[in-house]
Amino acid sequence: MTKSLDPRNVTWMALSMALVMLPHVERLPLWISLLAVLVVGWRLYVAWQGMSLPKKWLLLLLVAAASAGIYLSFGTLFGRDSGVALLVVMLTLKLLEMASLRDAMIVIFLSYFGILTEFLYSQTIPTALLMLVGVWVVTATMIGLQWRGGAIRYQDSLRLSLQMLAQATPLMLVLFLLFPRVQGPLWGLPRDAYAGITGLSDSMSPGTLSQLTLSDAVAFRVQFQGAMPKPTQLYWRGPVLWYFDGMSWHMGISFESGAPSYSPGAEAFSYTVTLEPHDKRWLFALDLPAKLAPNSRFTNDFQMLSITPVRQRMRYEMTSHTSYRLGYEGLTSFERRRALQLPEGYNWRARALAQNMRRAARDETDMVDRVLGMFRTQQFFYTLTPPLLGEHPIDEFLFTTRSGFCEHYASAFVFLMRAAGIPARVVTGYQGGELNPVGNYMIVRQSEAHAWAEVWLEDKGWLRVDPTAAVSPLRVESGIAAAIPATDPLPLLIRGDIEWLRQLRFTWDSLANTWNQWVLGYNPERQFWLLSRVGLDRATWQTLATILVATTTLITLMFAFAMLRRLSRRTRDPVAKAYRKFCRKLARRGAPRAPSEGPADYAVRAAAQLPHAAAAIKAISERYIKLRYGRPRGGESVRELKRLVAELKV
Amino acid sequence: MNLPSADFLTQMTQPIDRVLAQVNRIILGKDHQIRLALSCLLAGGHLLIEDIPGVGKTTLAHALATTLGLNFQRIQFTSDLLPADIIGVSVYDREEASFKFHPGPIFTQVLLADEVNRATPKTQSALLEAMEERQVTTEGETRPLPEPFFVIATQNPSHQVGTFPLPESQLDRFLMRIQLGYPGPDAERALLQGSSRRDLLNRLEPCTGPAELASLRDGVTRVHAAPALIDYLQALIQHTRASTEFAGGLSPRAGLALLHAARAWALMDGRSEVLPEDVQAVIPGVVGHRLHAAGQHGRINGVDVAARLIAAVAIP
């Protein structure tokens, strides 16, 4: 095919390609975006000026240079980010050697693939909509390329493309619902796909959690079966931190030896957690979980750890007891040593304070109350933007700055306990959660990240103590938005003071949740559940495949039938049908009728070309003209025309 | 509906053939253009003849008017021509002590507007208004124009010096625009050897009269257009609107014009029904000045546009 491409089509291709790449721009190095713009501009210039495409050696040079550039920028040619960058560069460079319709079709298919890569980064509803727009425009571009008979107006190609997508929708739904599913993803994403996901980590230093509070990303959603716990019971347990180096807290060694037994109270809550991917192993559950989620283990301090990092959305059923007695049998000497560990040489004043208080206190319980009382009665402030702390952070916090976020209070509390000889540890996780009245489920966001403390008391075991609650009872009872001063920076979405925004947010989140559960989380279980609802119990993949093939065939046949009907409406006229037969007969003898040739003109021309049949041609044409264009009359019969056409010998 | 008989057709075609034969003696080798011009007048439309000076535009107009036996006025359009020069003026009559209207040259059956694009837009629009309304209003009084009333306008191609091109809205008032073009070598030779056209014109006798012309025009409206032909017309119109080849599609008025002209053409061919060929024959005249090829700098020849349109639409 040597027909050169219409500049208008080239412009369309450039446009759809821009649409495909636009979402990637913010993630790509600047030079790649610039290169893409430059190459597209070059191609457009070439197309509109009617110049020739660049030479092969120049293209090879460009490809080599761009590949080298990507290698230098990313340090590799593999992986998600560099792979996408490579695709974007090659896709734009392909434009420069696009000379024929075949090349253009390759670019079209690559564009479809380019749209797909957006899924590697985000799978939300807006992304899906954006991609749909991309598919729409790329399809319209393809229609423009394949259009025969002059150029097509952009409104028409867009409308046609929309029509085609609409026709494809039933097929898409059938394939989505019925295609046999496999558990888990078909393939894993490269490692670099999980960079930049926010969430709790295995260490805590001043500022860690208050940073997290600035994110309104959803950590997980919870659907309660039956009663819901009170706000003050909503402690979602995450990483437990033992080791303090004077500045920050770490997990230290964790033992995945299984959970120690505990005696639960009467109250139990059942719920389903849908956890967003966070690339760590923690599975969050209310204090304390009564059972394990699938494919996970307990550590001996009741962290629930998944076997593999959570890299895709995960659903698990959970039961928790909010009142319990844990570890009252006693501590091992190793545990005690870990729970009393403090770095030497730091925070002298805090140590002294703890020792003085311990001497004044009647027992350990009284000691806990005294420290909490100190936070409550003295001038301590709860703020998201505490002043920076120096070499002795606990000292400075307790005696100088006196304002901090939950990590400051938890950290200072555990420090004071340990200094007073009481075993204690820091527990991080989430506190609270927002009930979405639209979908009747609870949203827990990164902004609800929290740190609290556990102390071990003789005969009572591990007790949860939340020093933040002493400073700011509102934080635990009403959530983070109520507890933070209005001047502190907090994401707009977390603030609850704009009513319509709140409503909108709830509706949107409910929609997103449904999307997550039913579209992204459509797994074999969901599929079988759905099929059992329509009476297909225990459907094997063979039955699924049979239904799939049958339905797609049915839908295709329905569309084909509708199209055929529309076509045949024109062919039903017996006069036109007879004439077409006549034209076909003449065409076989080398006198085909041009589509725009009138019957009288054709008769003259055909008779001249086929002189031996001239009389018959004339007779048939005259009858046809009378029947088709003349006044309706009784005399001329269609049968006569048909007979003449049938008898025509050429 | 009373069916047209063979009688009817001979009744119609005989005077037409006479007219054609006579005009063909004056304008040599332009049979197709003369047929187009006559079909335009039979369809009751105004005619615009566009070509360079000296190819016989005025002669054609004059010959047509005389042959059809209609009275004839000619206005040479110039840049200082005023509307009153066309329509007429009221002059104070001292004896009767009142204003008396002196009708302008427009009160005629055939008006030859020579070089219509040399007049100012104001004067052009005075003419074109009269064309559409078939009446003239001056000083609060409406005066009907004679029946029949035809305007045959000639114009030079607008890229020539000293012209005011007619706007598209006014071009639309002409049913057809035809181009004469240079004569063929044989016709040219005959022209050079023959007697002067002016003498011939002066000696010209009318072949028909207003009454017969009226019945011819009535005959045109009785030519049958079958549903299949309307399908074809619609396909043509739809194509001009949907395709990017043309800047703006044909208007409903243009569609009607196409049908009327095709009917007249069919009648001239001696048929009482319209064929797709009839539509194709009048397309260059009817569509050429209404349709412009998109994305082309400068106007493309009307005949080329028509040829493209015909080739692009299949006859259903």
Lowest mean pLDDT among A29-43, A578-592, B21-35, B195-209: B195-209
Structure token pair of residue A211: 């940073």
Residues in chain A: 650
Inter-chain residue contact B312 with A150, CB threshold 8 Å: yes
List B136's β-bridge partners, or say none. Answer: B143
Tell me the C-alpha distance between B221 and A632, whole Å. 17
Q: What is the pLDDT of residue A257?
A: 75
Distance separating alpha carbons of residues B114 and B103, to the nearest angstrom: 19
B313 touches chain A (CB under 8 A): yes
Res A398 pLDDT > 80: yes
Report the pLDDT value the prediction gives residue A423, as an integer from 0 to 100: 92
Q: Tell me if A27 is assigned to some domain.
A: yes
Whether residues A220 and A316 fall in one domain: yes
Measure the CA angle with vertex A444, ends A411 and A425; round to 5°: 20
| A550 in a structural domain | no
Taken in order B20, B21, B26, B32, the sign of the CA dihedral is positive
Q: Write down the pLDDT at residue A453.
A: 92
Residue A331's Cα: distance from chain center in Å?
A: 45
Q: What percent of chain A has pLDDT over 70?
A: 92
Residue A143 has pLDDT above 80, yes or no: yes
Who's near A175: CB < 8 A, 6+ residues apart? Answer: A548, A552
CA gap A30, A42 in Å, rounded: 18
The stretch A165-189 carries a mean pLDDT of 78
Question: Which of B3, B280, B315 shows the shortest C-beta gap to A631?
Answer: B3
**pLDDT of amino acid B260:** 92
CB A389 within 8 A of CB A401: yes
Question: Would you place residue A324 in the very low, low, confident or very high pLDDT band (cuts 50, 70, 90)?
Answer: confident
Given A476, A499, A522, the domain boundary residue is A499
Q: End of a domain among A449, A481, A499?
A: A499
Q: Is the pLDDT of residue A157 over 70?
A: yes
In this structure, are A137 and A222 located in the same domain?
Answer: no
Residue A137 distance to chain B (closest CA, Å): 19
pLDDT bin (cut points 50, 70, 90) of residue A65 is: very high
Cα of A624 to nearest chain B Cα, Å: 11
Judged by a CB distance cut-off of 8 A, whether residue B275 touches chain A is: yes
Selection from A412, A374, A414, A372 nearest residue A392 by Cα: A412
User: Inter-chain contact A629–B242, Cβ cutoff 8 Å?
Assistant: no
Q: Residue A268: beta bridge partners?
A: A321
B316 touches chain A (CB under 8 A): yes
Continuous H helices in A75-153:
80-96, 101-117, 125-146
- Which residue type sits at A197? I
Q: Which of A146, A176, A194 is the last residue of a domain?
A: A146
CA B264, B267, B273, B278 torsion-angle sign? negative
Question: Rounded to an integer, what distance in angstroms lies between the CA atom of residue B30 and that of residue B60?
Answer: 10
- Same domain for A343 and A436? yes
Contact A631 B273 (CB under 8 A): yes
Residues A378 and A448 in one domain: yes
Length of chain B: 316
Q: Is B169 on the interface with A (CB under 8 A)?
A: no
Contact in structure between A283 and A304 (CB atoms under 8 Å): yes
Q: Lowest mean pLDDT: which of A11-25, A146-160, A185-199, A548-562?
A: A185-199
Q: What is the mean pLDDT of chain B?
A: 84
Which range, of A187-191, A361-365, A414-418, A576-580, averages the lowest pLDDT? A187-191
Tell if the CB–CB gap between B311 and A600 is shorter than 8 Å. Answer: no
- Give A296's pLDDT tier (boundaries 50, 70, 90): confident
3-class SS string, A289-307 = ECCCCCCEEECCCCCEEEC
The pLDDT-based confidence of B279 (bands split at 50, 70, 90) is very high
Distance in angstroms (rounded) separating the CA atoms of residues A11 and A21: 15
Give the residue on B whose Cα is nearest the Cα of A625.
B275
AA identity, residue A499: E
The verdict on A217 and A126 lying in the same domain is no
Tens of pLDDT, residues A343-358? 887 888 888 999 998 8
Q: What are phi and psi of A279, to 5 degrees?
A: 65, 15
Q: Which pLDDT score, from 0 to 100, does residue A194 have?
A: 63
From the candidates A202, A301, A395, A466, which is the catalytic residue?
A: A466
pLDDT on residue A636 = 58
CA angle A274, A278, A282 (to 5 degrees): 75
- Check whether residue A221 and residue A358 sit in a common domain: yes
Closest CA to B114 of B170, B40, B60: B60
Closest residue on chain B to A594 (Cα): B314
Contacts of residue A395, defined as CB under 8 A and 6 or more positions apart, other chains included, come to A347, A348, A349, A350
Query: Residue written as tokens 């491409």?
Result: A5
Residue A241 bridge partners (DSSP): A426
- Pick from A596, A598, A631: which is nearest to B224 by CB? A631
d(CA A306, CA B268): 92
Hey, what are B174's tokens? 């002409």
List, in sequence order, every residue forming a beta bridge with A203; answer none if it has no partner.
A250
- How near does any CA of chain A get to the CA of B315, in Å? 5
Q: Does residue A47 surpass a pLDDT of 50?
A: yes
One-character DSSP codes across A496-534: ---HHHHHHHHHHHHHHHHIIIIIIT--HHHHHHHHHHT
Comparison of pLDDT for A499 and B212, the residue scoring more: B212
Does residue B121 surpass a pLDDT of 50? yes
Going by pLDDT thresholds of 50, 70 and 90, the confidence category of residue A433 is confident
pLDDT at B1 (0 to 100)? 40
Instruction: Determine whether A392 is an active site residue.
Output: no
Residue A331 lies in a domain: yes
How is A559-591 classified by DSSP, letter by letter?
A: HHHHHHHHHHHHHT-HHHHHHHHHHHHHHHTT-
Is it the case that residue B195 has pLDDT exceeding 80? no
Residues A315 and A402 in one domain: yes
Other C-beta atoms lying within 10 Å of the C-beta of residue A611: 9
DSSP chain B: -PPP-HHHHHHHHHHHHHHHHHHHHHSTT-HHHHHHHHHHHHTT-EEEEE--TTSSHHHHHHHHHHHTT--EEEEE--TT--HHHHHEEEEEETTTTEEEEEE-TTSSSEEEEETGGGS-HHHHHHHHHHHHHSEEEETTEEEEPPSS-EEEEEE--TTSTT--PPPHHHHTTEEEEE---PPPHHHHHHHHHS--HHHHHHT---SS-HHHHHHHHHHHHTSB--HHHHHHHHHHHHHHHHBTTBSS---HHHHHHHHHHHHHHHHHTT-SB--HHHHHHHHHHHHTTT--BTT-SSPPPHHHHHHHHHHHS---
Residue A136 confidence (pLDDT): 94
From A301, A395, A450, A583, the catalytic residue: A450
Q: Are residues A237 and A134 in the same domain?
A: no
Which pLDDT value is given to residue A1? 34
| Tokens 């190793």 -> residue | A334
Q: What gap in Å lies between CA A180 and CA B30, rounded to an integer?
A: 76
Report the distance separating Cα B279 and Cα B281, nearest Å: 5
The answer on A434 and A289 residing in a single domain is yes
Does the beta carbon of B9 lie under 8 angstroms from any beta carbon of chain A? no
Confirm whether A583 is a catalytic residue: no
Beta strands in A232-362 (DSSP E): 235-241, 243-244, 249-250, 262-264, 268-275, 282-283, 285-286, 296-298, 304-306, 314-321, 324-326
Rounded to the nearest angstrom, the minimum Cα separation between A597 and chain B is 7
A450 labelled catalytic: yes
What's the domain count of chain A? 3
Q: How confident is the model at residue A486 (pLDDT cuts 50, 70, 90)?
A: low
Q: Is B218 within 8 Å of chain A by CB?
A: no
Chain A residues within an 8 Å CB radius of B315: 595-599
> Distance (Å) from the C-alpha of residue B6 to the closest C-alpha of chain A?
14
pLDDT at position A571, please?
63
Residues of B in contact with A599 (CB under 8 A): 275-277, 315
Find the mean pLDDT for residues A237-257: 85
Q: Give chain B positions within 8 Å (CB) of A626.
A: 273
Q: Is the pLDDT of residue B261 over 90?
A: yes
- Residues B48-58 have pLDDT tens digits of 988 888 888 88
Same domain, residue pair A94 and A224 = no
Are A469 and A475 in contact by the 8 Å Cβ rule? The answer is yes
Whether the pLDDT of residue A2 is over 50: the answer is no
Query: What Rg, from alpha-carbon coordinates, does chain A have?
Result: 37
β pairing state of B72-76 and B110-114: parallel
Q: Which of A596, A628, A630 is opposite residue B310, by nearest beta carbon?
A: A596
Q: Is residue A538 in a domain?
A: no
User: Model confidence over A581-629: pLDDT tens digits?
Assistant: 888 888 888 888 888 888 888 999 988 888 888 888 888 898 888 888 8
Q: Which of A455, A245, A269 is nearest to A366 (CA)?
A: A455
A473 shares its domain with A589: no
User: Which chain A residues are within 8 Å of B314, Cβ to Cβ?
Assistant: 595-596
Per-residue pLDDT tens over the stretch B222-259: 899 988 899 899 999 988 888 777 777 888 889 999 99
Residue at A264 is within a domain = yes
Interface contacts A/B by beta carbons within 8 Å:
60
Residues in A closer than 8 angstroms to B3, CB to CB, are 631
- Comparing alpha-carbon positions, the chain A residue that sits nearest to B247 is A153
As a whole number of angstroms, the distance between CA A315 and CA A523 comes to 11
In a domain, A524, yes or no: no
B2 in contact with chain A, both atoms CB, cutoff 8 A: no
Is A629 within 8 Å of B275 when comparing Cβ atoms? Answer: yes
Question: Residue A112: its pLDDT value, please?
Answer: 92
Give the separation between CA B110 and CA B98, rounded to whole angstroms.
31
Residue A435 confidence (pLDDT): 84
Chain B residues whose beta carbon lies within 8 Å of the beta carbon of residue A8: 244
Are residues A139 and A288 both part of a single domain?
Answer: no
On average, the pLDDT of chain A sits at 84
Nearest one of B124, B87, B126, B78 to B106, comparing CA atoms: B87
Residue A404 resides in a domain: yes
What phi-psi label fits residue B181: left (phi over 0), alpha (psi between -120 and 50 degrees) or beta?
Answer: left
Q: Kindly calculate the radius of gyration of chain B based on its CA atoms and give it in whole angstroms.
A: 20
> Sign (positive/negative) of CA torsion A362, A364, A368, A369?
negative
Closest residue, chain B, to A629 (C-alpha): B226
Confirm whether A397 is domain-assigned.
Answer: yes
Residues spanned by the domain of A403: 203-499
Q: Say yes or no: ipTM exceeds 0.85.
A: no
- Domains by residue range for chain B, with CATH: 223-316 (1.10.8.80)
For testing the chain A interface, which of B245, B267, B271, B315 should be mutated: the one with the most A CBs within 10 Å?
A: B315
